Amino acid sequence: TASDSLGEALDYTITGIEPGAGITQLTLNTLEEYENLEGWTLLESSTAGMIGALDQAIKNEEPIIVTGWNPHWKFSAYDLKYLEDPKGTLGGAEDINTITRKGLEEDMPEAYTILDRFYWEPEDMEAVMYAAQEIPFEEAAQNWIDENADKVSEWTEGVEKVDGVDIELVITPWDTERASGQVMKIVLEQQGYNVTLTPVDPAIMFQAIATAEGDASVAPWLPNTHGSFYEKYKEDIVDLGPNLTGTKTGLVVPAYMDIDSIEDLMP
Ligand code: PBE
């Protein structure tokens, strides 16, 4: 059948990213939840490795299946499509939330207010991410802040300045969160905070906020991509709700491929 020959062409391999990514575990679950996908394996590597393999496959017009998400520049660089996920075992459309440690509202009310108000659109995040392809994230974030003073002032309006208070933001190591993390770092620095930005795996990020080793994060993808960590730690964190809506995760293929659904991978 067509799926058998596709499987053989791909050596029954899905090209993945970092082992600690939420999307990695969701993809492993997906291979168990759908019937007859036992023969497929997920090749864990890195985001750069996945992009390299995707680029190579597209140059050769070969098939490839990757774990993908947006916002990400791969959707503007290549003609790609998400595979339908009728069982809903991958992330689908979701939000990025802001979380804080317990007690932050009392200890640092100014930062808490700004974090609580922080909200922007996928186009804002993409503007920082795309600029950061050419310049450092710090610079891309600073430029976005300079060009969007009206949006930033909605987050900071009426909030008092502080004098050198230390705050630790914990993020994950993908461009989406480098963008939001850098923007929030600069906004809080302008408010008088000394900000540390620490990128870690999603599991460590939730653990750090739950144990108050870190103060806040703008990086959880919910309800699905980081849902298992959220369930584990939800009693020990404060959830301030979405700072962005309209992300998506799933299995992604070049548009020229002749499949539309994860079910098309079944033999
Ligand atoms: N991502 C980007 C991450 C969250 C942000 C989808 C690769 C993950 O899977 O954990």
Residue-wise pLDDT tens digits, 130-178: 999 999 999 999 999 999 999 999 999 999 999 999 999 999 999 999 9
Residue of minimum CA distance from atom 2 in ligand 1: 174
- Is residue 229 within 6 Å of ligand 1 at its C-beta? no
- Is residue 224 within 6 Å of ligand 1 at its C-beta? no
Comparing 109 with 5, the larger pLDDT belongs to 109
Whose structure tokens read 């999603």?
202
Report the pLDDT value the prediction gives residue 152, as an integer from 0 to 100: 98
C-alpha triplet 238, 243, 248: angle, nearest 5°? 110
- Is residue 104 within 6 Å of ligand 1 at its C-beta? no
**What is the predicted ipTM?**
0.98
Provide the mean pLDDT of the chain.
96
Q: Is 198 exposed, middle or buried (0-12, 13-18, 19+ CB in 10 A)?
A: middle
Q: What is the dihedral of CA 89, 248, 152, 131, to 10 degrees?
A: 140
Q: Which two tokens stand for residue 146?
A: 């300079």
Ligand 1 centroid from CA 43, angstroms: 16
Domain ranges of the chain: 2-92+249-265, 94-247
Number of helical H runs and strand E runs in the chain: 12, 10
For the chain, how long is the longest CA-to-CA vector? Answer: 67
Report the pLDDT value the prediction gives residue 47, as an integer from 0 to 100: 97
Ligand 1 centroid from CA 142, angstroms: 24
CATH number of 94-247: 3.10.105.10
User: What residues pair up with 193 in beta bridges, in sequence order?
Assistant: 165
Residue 196 has pLDDT above 80, yes or no: yes
Mind listing the pLDDT tens digit for each residue in 36-66? Answer: 898 999 999 999 999 999 999 999 999 999 9
- Could you tell which of 18, 23, 247 is best to mutate to test the pocket of ligand 1, judged by most ligand atoms within 8 Å of the CB? 23
Q: How confident is the model at residue 267 (pLDDT cuts 50, 70, 90)?
A: confident
Residues of the chain with pLDDT > 70, as a percent, come to 100
Residues of the chain with pLDDT > 90, as a percent, come to 95
Residue 236 has pLDDT above 90, yes or no: yes
Residue 92 has pLDDT above 90, yes or no: no
Tell me how far apart the alpha carbons of residues 60 and 224 are, in angstroms, rounded to a whole number: 34
- Could you tell which of 14, 30, 66, 69 is best to mutate to test the pocket of ligand 1, judged by most ligand atoms within 8 Å of the CB? 69
Tell me how far apart the alpha carbons of residues 205 and 229 are, in angstroms, rounded to a whole number: 9
Q: How confident is the model at residue 266 (pLDDT cuts 50, 70, 90)?
A: confident
Report the pLDDT value the prediction gives residue 4, as an integer from 0 to 100: 80
Percentages of the chain per state (helix, strand, coil), in multiples of 5: 45, 25, 35
Report the pLDDT value the prediction gives residue 54, as an integer from 0 to 100: 98
Report the pLDDT value the prediction gives residue 203, as an integer from 0 to 100: 98
Task: Tell me: cis bond preceding 109? Omega within 30 of 0 counts.
Answer: no
State the average pLDDT over residues 87-94. Answer: 91
Q: Is 63 exposed, middle or buried (0-12, 13-18, 19+ CB in 10 A)?
A: middle
- Sequence-distant contacts of 32-40: CB under 8 A, at least 24 apart: 33/87, 33/89, 34/87, 34/89, 34/262, 34/263, 34/265, 34/266, 35/266, 36/266, 36/267, 37/262, 37/265, 37/266, 39/7, 39/12, 39/267, 40/7, 40/12, 40/13, 40/14, 40/265
Report the pLDDT value the prediction gives residue 38, as an integer from 0 to 100: 87
CATH number of 2-92+249-265: 3.40.190.100
Nearest to 81 by CA among 65, 62, 60, 97: 65
Report the pLDDT value the prediction gives residue 15, as an integer from 0 to 100: 98
Ligand 1 centroid from CA 132, angstroms: 18
